[in-house]
Amino acid sequence: MDLFKKCYDYTLVEEYKKKGIYPYFHALESRQDKVVQMESKRRIMLGSNNYLGLTACPEVVEAGIKAMEKYGTGCSGSRFLNGTLDLHLELEKELASFLRKDDACTWSTGFQSNLGIISAIAGKNDIIFCDRENHASIYDGCRLSLASMVRYHHNDMEELEKLLQQADENAGKLIITDGVFSMRGDIANIPRIVELAKAYGARVMIDDAHGLGVIGEGGRGTASYWGLENEVDIYMGTFSKSLASLGGYMVASQKVINYVKHHSRPFIFSASLPPANAACALAALRHLEANPGLPRKLAGLSDYARRGMVARNVPISLGETPIIPIYLSDADTTLQVAKDIFDAGVYVNPVLPPATGPNECLLRTSYMASLTESLIDEALDIIASVLGDRFSKQAEAQA
C-alpha cells in the first residue's frame, strides 16, 4: 500500500471549503491585540490566549527588540552546549522566585516542555494517571516516556482513587492534570488530587499553561489558587499565553530540575529559546509582578462577559476563568455559526472532535485584560444575534 494513500483519501478539508465553513488559518494582518485586522477586516478578538494583553505592551515589545540587538536572532545550539545565555538564567531565576519553587528550566515551546519533562521523569516501570481532557502535549509526553498511562474521566476523583488503588504499589506514580482546562475553562480539583497523591505515594504535576497570570495570588496559577503551592511537585507552563512570548518552563525542586536537564532528550537535543522570546517573557513576568491587579481586572471582565452571555440567552456553563465555551451541537452547525460570527466581525475558536464529543462541539471564547466592557458588549451582541438567527431558522425548519 502507498504510504500516502491516507493523504489522498483525506477529503474533509475540501468538503468544508466547498461548504464555505472551513475555519482555520485565517491570516492576521496586525499585532495580536483586543481588536485585530484579519483578512482585511476589523475583528474583535475573542479567540486568543493573550490573557493579560501583553503582546501589545510597549515595554514587552521593547525588551524583545533590545535582546535581538544585543544577542542576535538565535542561539544556534542547545542549552547543553553553546545555547545558554545569561538571559535564560535570569528568566529561570525570576520564574522560580515568582512561583515559589527552588529552580526552573525553560524550553523552546510549551509542547516541547511537556514532552521533555514527562519523558525524563517517568519510565517504562512507572504509571502516569492522566485526566482525559489534558492537553495533547501531555498525552504525547506520556507516550514518549514509555510509562503506563492510565486515564481517568475529567475531574473524576472517585475514578482516580480506584485507579490508584489498583496500581502496583512498587511502581513510580505521577498524577498529571491541566490546572485550567483549555476548552471548558474549569479548574482541576487540586486539593483532592494532592490528598490522593499523599495516600497512594504519587507525585503531582500541573500543566498551568492557562493558569499562570489568570488565577491565584497575583496570577501565580492553580496551585496558588488552592493554597497548595508546597504540595505540588512540578508546575509546567508556557510563555505563549499570559507572558506574551513563545516557549515553556518547568519549576520544581533543584534536584528534580537538575535530573531533568541531564536526562530530557527534547531539552538536550533542541536549540534553546531565542533571545527575543526569553526577553519578552521576562519583561511580561516583571510587568505582571509590578501589576498584581491585572489578573483581578481580567477576572472582572470575564465575569462581565459571562453575565452578558447569560442575559442574552447564549448557552454557556458558568465558571470563573477567562475561557467561556458556548455549547452548540454538531460540527457543521458549529462551523457555520463560527463563520457567521467571523463575518460579522468577531473572532472565536470552533472546537470539534476529537477535542470534544461528537455532538458536544463548542465555540471557545477567551478574554483579555486589555478588553473593554464596550468591546465585550459589541462582540456579545453580534454572537447573540447570529445564534438567535440560527435558532430561529432551526425552529422554522422543524415547524
Q: Got the DSSP string for 230-297?
A: GG-SEEEEESSSTTSSS-EEEEE-HHHHHHHHHH-HHHHTSBPPPHHHHHHHHHHHHHHHH-TTHHHH
Same domain, residue pair 251 and 323: no
Q: Which helix (H) or strand (E) holds 31?
A: none
Q: What is the pLDDT of residue 190?
A: 98
Cα(189)–Cα(153) distance, rounded to whole angstroms?
13
Model confidence band, residue 360 (pLDDT cutoffs 50, 70, 90) = confident
pLDDT digits (tens, 9 = 90+) for 21-48: 999 999 999 999 999 999 999 999 999 9
Same domain, residue pair 141 and 245: yes
Cα(188)–Cα(197) distance, rounded to whole angstroms?
14
What is the β-pairing status of strands 349-351 and 362-366?
antiparallel
Provide the residue range defining the domain that includes 300: 5-55+292-398
Same domain, residue pair 90 and 27: no
Same domain, residue pair 286 and 323: no
Answer whether residue 395 shows pLDDT above 90.
no
For the chain, give the mean pLDDT.
95
Answer whether residue 150 shows pLDDT above 80.
yes
The DSSP code for 29 is -
- Tell me, what CATH number does 146's domain have? 3.40.640.10
Could you tell me which of 214, 288, 206, 274 has the C-alpha nearest to residue 245?
Answer: 274
Cα(107)–Cα(145) distance, rounded to whole angstroms?
17
What is the β-pairing status of strands 103-107 and 41-45?
unpaired
Same domain, residue pair 16 and 99: no
Q: Which residue, of 263, 290, 317, is where some domain finishes?
A: 290
Answer whether residue 397 shows pLDDT above 80.
no
Beta bridge mates, 131: 152
Kindly give, in sequence order, each residue whose CB lies less than 8 Å from that of residue 152, ignoring residues fewer than 6 positions away: 129, 130, 131, 132, 159, 160, 163
Same domain, residue pair 332 and 376: yes
What is the β-pairing status of strands 173-178 and 127-131?
parallel
Number of domains in the chain: 2
Kindly give, in sequence order, each residue whose CB lies less than 8 Å from that of residue 111, ignoring residues fewer than 6 positions away: 136, 137, 140, 248
Q: Which helix (H) or strand (E) holds 207?
A: strand 203-207
Model confidence band, residue 355 (pLDDT cutoffs 50, 70, 90) = confident
pLDDT digits (tens, 9 = 90+) for 90-123: 999 999 999 999 999 999 999 999 999 999 999 9
Q: What is the pLDDT of residue 392?
A: 59
pLDDT digits (tens, 9 = 90+) for 288-347: 999 999 999 999 999 999 999 999 999 998 899 999 999 998 899 999 999 999 999 999
pLDDT digits (tens, 9 = 90+) for 154-165: 999 999 999 999
Same domain, residue pair 256 and 307: no
Same domain, residue pair 23 and 103: no
Alpha-carbon torsion angle 288, 292, 295, 301, nearest 10: -110
236 and 250 in contact (C-beta within 8 Å)?
yes
Q: Quickly tell me which residue has 462582540 as its cell.
A: 379
Kindly give, in sequence order, each residue whose CB lies less than 8 Å from that of residue 93, ignoring residues fewer than 6 positions away: 104
Residues 282-288, mean pLDDT to the nearest whole number: 98
Q: Which residue, of 262, 290, 318, is where some domain finishes?
A: 290
Same domain, residue pair 68 and 145: yes
Cα(44)–Cα(48) distance, rounded to whole angstroms?
10
Same domain, residue pair 83 and 26: no
Q: What is the pLDDT of residue 393?
A: 59
Q: Which helix (H) or strand (E) holds 399?
A: none
Same domain, residue pair 264 and 331: no
- Tell me, what CATH number does 362's domain have? 3.90.1150.10
Kindly give, in sequence order, each residue whose CB lies less than 8 Å from that of residue 253, ignoring residues fewer than 6 positions away: 101, 102, 103, 233
Q: Which residue, of 257, 290, 323, is where some domain finishes?
A: 290
User: Which residues does the annotation mark as catalytic?
Assistant: 182, 210, 241
Same domain, residue pair 38 and 72: no
> What's the pTM?
0.94
